[in-house]
Structure 1
Amino acid sequence: MRRYPILAAMTVLAAVMLFPFVIVTFNAFKTPAEYSAGSPLSPPQGLNLDGIIAFWTRVDFGEKLLNSLVISGSVAVLAVVLSVLNAYALGIGRVRGRLWILVLFLVANTLPQEALAYPLYYLAKAAGLYDSKLAVIIVFTVIQAAFGTYLLSAVLGQFPREILEAARMDGAGRFLALWRIVVPISRPTLSVLVIFFFIWTWNEFFLPLIFLVSNDTQTVPVALGVLQGEKYMDATMSSASALLGIVPAVAFFLIFQRTLTRGITVGAIK
């Protein structure tokens, strides 16, 4: 009987979270006249795609979508690889000063992006990487890897030493043991990190707004934020832009939902 109140509370919470998405979807498929004549909460009379098509064409949304996919995918993979290498040295290698290094990574996770904006801008300018996707990939790879290193160091710190000793007796070196033993066993946790890093990077707005000033390098959140300030954006096109910005991240989450659930469950059991 105790589970029914919890189920009811979760249902109400899910409805509250989905309500804005439903309203945006309703208004995205309305005409401006239909939106003005009725209530924003009312469902559309039909599937009108004019707002979505107009927004897609105006901002060249396909290019922005590709930019976000390239940046988010690259950051997710590179940050996990860097996190694994760092955590392998800190969690299993037990390097000297391990505690202070982990404190440094923890402090790096607490720094606001506003404090990093000017130094990163100056470095990108000096390196000739300003207004390029590579600069954003490098910056967010380091930022996400700081969190990944801190998390994986705790996980790999509990890794069974007997398995590594057996691999060493069989002639496996450090990198072979990492690739053949540590990574496969830690795959559920690494999969969760890849998903989180992808979604977090996809939703980033502040630093990409500073680094990506050209129209052909902007990401989806930057394009949405810049165009929202334009006076010729009506309510239906604004809703269409919000819908197009949400759908890719939601689709990615739903596709890898089973992987995410499996990774969290395995981590909880361990």
Structure 2
Amino acid sequence: MTRKTGVDWLMLAFAIVAAILIAAPFYLILINSFKSPADYSTGGPLALPSAIYLDGIAAFWERVNFPQKVWNSVFISGTVAILAVLISVLNAFAIGIGRIRGRSWIVLLFLLANLLPQEALLYPLYYMFREVGLYNNVWSVIIVFTVIQAAFGTYLLSAVYGTFPKEVLEAAAIDGATRWQILWRVIFPISRPTLSVLLIFFFIWTWNEFLIPLTFLVSNENQTVPVAISLLQGERLMDVTTTSASALLGLIPTLLFFLIFQRTLTRGITAGAVK
């Protein structure tokens, strides 16, 4: 057993402090979600609730029709994640393995697409969606985020597929496999851990998006969870405990999604590191 050095203890202390700083906001949200306004006024934000108070959660649940908002977020995020991964695989296969002409410039173009701020896209996208009749439609947000996430996925997978062993591809071709069969029977199974990580990240990133859904989903029945929470807070009709309850309810779905797919995420990252 090796003895810990001063650097090891310093890193351990830094990790503990970082964990406390990360956990503190979640702790405040949790305890304040179950306080009554009078309890909050008496004990402040740091005190534990004297009794479990669920009216704040119930008020937010009913006011925003929370199940509908969760379904909107799940449908948009899930559809974007699946489509973005599929498009990324097809693009990366053509760029990384197909070795099309101008490969470096195309990859650079996808990289630049990820660096473009969303604020610069709002007006042209607003005008385009109004013209084609997709304004205030969830598919407008799905299309935008599918393109954005697929650009990042293409950039990442192109580098991965560019290092794919040529011997494996040549052996499959000699056995009579077509390009389509090589993609789905050889490359896809091997790169499945990486694709699983991308799928999880795309889902969470899309779920947390705020600006574009706020701009293009103006009706109440189409809004996502982050938009619904922000709009209610902007109305200044909620007390602190109800606001905390809204944050807690908005956090629970993504937390559950992460816990369910935590093992998949860990396997994907480990597999990428081993390769």
Pick the TM interval, shorter chain: over 0.9
| Other structure's SS at 1:208 match | helix
2:84 is the counterpart of 1:79: yes
Identify the match of residue 39 of structure 1 among 35, 39, 44.
44
Report the equivalent of 2:247.
Answer: 242
Q: Does 1:211 align with 2:239?
A: no
Are 1:14 and 2:36 matched, yes or no? no
Name the CA distance, whole Å, in 1 between partners of 2:17 and 2:224. 33
Other-structure match for 2:259 = 254
**Please, which moves more after superposition, 14-23 or 42-51?**
42-51
Alpha-carbon separation, structure 2, partners of 1:28 and 1:169: 63
Give the CA deviation at 1:4.
4.2
The percent identity for this pair of structures is 64
The reply to whether residue 118 of structure 1 matches residue 131 of structure 2 is no
Hey, what does 1:154 align to over in structure 2? Answer: 159
Q: What's 2:201 paired with? A: 196
Q: Say if 2:141 is the partner of 1:136.
A: yes
C-alpha RMSD of the superposition = 0.9
Distance 1:132 1:192 in 2: 28
Alignment partner for residue 172 of structure 1, among 157, 174, 177?
Answer: 177
Q: Per-residue CA shift, 1:148-180, capped at 9, x if unaligned?
A: 000000000000111111111111111111001
Q: Counterpart of 1:30 in 2: which secondary structure?
A: coil
Secondary structure, counterpart of 2:237 in structure 1 = coil
For 2:9 and 2:188, the matched residues in 1 are separated by: 40
- 1:47 is displaced (CA, Å) by 2.0
| 1:50 aligned residue (55, 75, 80) | 55
Q: Report the AA paired with residue 145 of structure 1.
A: A
Q: TM-score, normalised by structure 2?
A: 0.96
TM-aligned CA deviation for residue 76 of structure 1 = 0.5
The corresponding residue for 2:132 is: 127
In structure 1, give the amino acid aligned to 2:105.
Answer: W
Deviations 1:170-218 (A, max 9, x none): 1111111100110100011000000100000000000000010010000
Deviation digits for residues 235-268 of structure 1, max 9, x if unmatched?
1110001111111111111111111111111111
- Per-residue deviation at 1:7? 3.0
Matches within 5 A, 1:102-113: 102-113=107-118
Supply the distance in 2 between the matched residues of 1:173 and 1:43 (Cα, whole angstroms). Answer: 64
Matched, 1:91 2:96: yes
TM-superposed CA distance for 1:233, in Å, is 0.8
Amino acid at match of 1:140: F
Cα distance in 2 between the residues matched to 1:147 and 1:51: 39
User: In structure 2, what is the Cα distance between the partners aligned to 1:150 and 1:259?
Assistant: 22
1:91 partner amino acid: G
1:23 aligned residue (28, 35, 60): 28
Unaligned segments of structure 1, at least 5 residues: none
